[in-house]
Amino acid sequence: MEQKETTTKKEIEQRAKTFNGMTAREWTQNSRSVWNDVSSARKSQHLLHGATYPEKLCDRVISMYSKQGDCVLDPFLGTGTTLISALKNNRFGIGIELSKEYFTIAQAAVQNSLNLLSTTSFQIYNGDCEMLLDIVPNDSIQLTLTSPPYADLIHKVVDDRTNRHKNSAFVTENNATTKIYSNNENDLGNMPLEEYKEKVLRIMRKLYTKTKPGGYNVWVAKDFRDIKNNIPYVDLHSAIAECGSNAGFVYHDLIIWDQNEQRSLVLLGYPSVFYVNQNHSYLVIMRRAK
């Protein structure tokens, strides 16, 4: 009993002195560099989108890089997963989504996730995040957590599914339910890679001014192959990290999200060229220096 009380007091002291409210034990337990345990059941709104990430992944990132009462931002909100996790973990949430359809889905899903005990609130905006980030006060965001479109990969996936056989690499290597987000010219999912990188850099510059000194900026992204243009490997996560660095962020860490358990292996390039199945994504962790 005495031991337990001592531990509790120690824990309270530790929580009070850490920037994220974690004890030393939780801090260590969360410091693995490869994650294979963050999949969570897809909710109804996720099935309407086709390119969402799990709430469990958001819960972990939010608990690592922010504390209760902090503000979490997602500039590519999709169905609202980041904000649902932020509110559940007593953080304030700001989300921006370009597509009116997904904005409406996110608004309803986030509203539904609120309960009587919620201590925090949220704001959701519909439009291009490059423009709408101007609304967010400078130096106010502790954590940006987002999964952007992967340039125009989505068009290649959908074309491939329509025009070629359904077992081709693009379809099987990526999520076969993927669909084009919108026809909007500001949609990063409609941009060839060079144009995409220019837009990401402009967004990163704005995110930098909105982030608190010492705050974090986490982008979840997957590398891919552009077989149509004969490019075997597009190192998207490095391109994102480079844009972040050019905007002023420090490239702080890299976490691998191992998705092998959720994706089956497919035969690629057989019998002439050997390719591995890219069944993982990256969490590119950037930080605004203090």
Q: Whole-number minimum distance, CB 4 to ligand SAM, in Å?
A: 39
Sheet containing 141-146: give its strands across: 34-35, 250-258, 280-287, 211-221, 141-146, 71-74, 92-97, 122-126
What CA–CA distances, in Å, run from 284 to 32, 118, 200, 234?
14, 30, 14, 15
Q: Whole-number minimum distance, CB 29 to ligand SAM, in Å?
A: 25
Q: Whole-number minimum distance, CB 9 to ligand SAM, in Å?
A: 39
Amino acid in position 156: K
By beta-carbon proximity to ligand SAM, the closer residue of 40 and 182 is: 182
By beta-carbon proximity to ligand SAM, the closer residue of 22 and 236 is: 236
Under a CB-based contact definition with an 8 Å cutoff, are residues 283 and 61 in contact? Answer: yes
By beta-carbon proximity to ligand SAM, the closer residue of 180 and 268 is: 180
By beta-carbon proximity to ligand SAM, the closer residue of 49 and 197 is: 49
By beta-carbon proximity to ligand SAM, the closer residue of 78 and 244 is: 78
Please report, as ranges, the residues that interact with ligand SAM according to CB under 6 A: 49, 51-53, 75-76, 78-79, 81, 96-99, 102, 128-130, 147-149, 181-182, 186-189
Give alpha helix (H) positions in 129-192. Answer: 129-132, 153-163, 169-173
Under a CB-based contact definition with an 8 Å cutoff, are residues 95 and 83 in contact? Answer: yes
How far apart CA 287 and CA 215 sit, in angstroms, is 6
The two three-digit tokens of residue 152, written as one number: 């125009």
Q: Whole-number minimum distance, CB 48 to ligand SAM, in Å?
A: 9
Sign for the CA dihedral angle at 206, 216, 129, 108 comes to: negative
Residues 6 or more apart whose CB falls under 8 angstroms from that of 198 comprise none
By beta-carbon proximity to ligand SAM, the closer residue of 22 and 145 is: 145
By beta-carbon proximity to ligand SAM, the closer residue of 49 and 161 is: 49
* CA–centroid distance for 270 within its chain: 33
Q: Whole-number minimum distance, CB 228 to ligand SAM, in Å?
A: 21
Nearest position to ligand SAM, beta carbon = 78
How far apart CA 154 and CA 129 sit, in angstroms, is 19
Q: Whole-number minimum distance, CB 127 to ligand SAM, in Å?
A: 7
Q: Whole-number minimum distance, CB 276 to ligand SAM, in Å?
A: 23
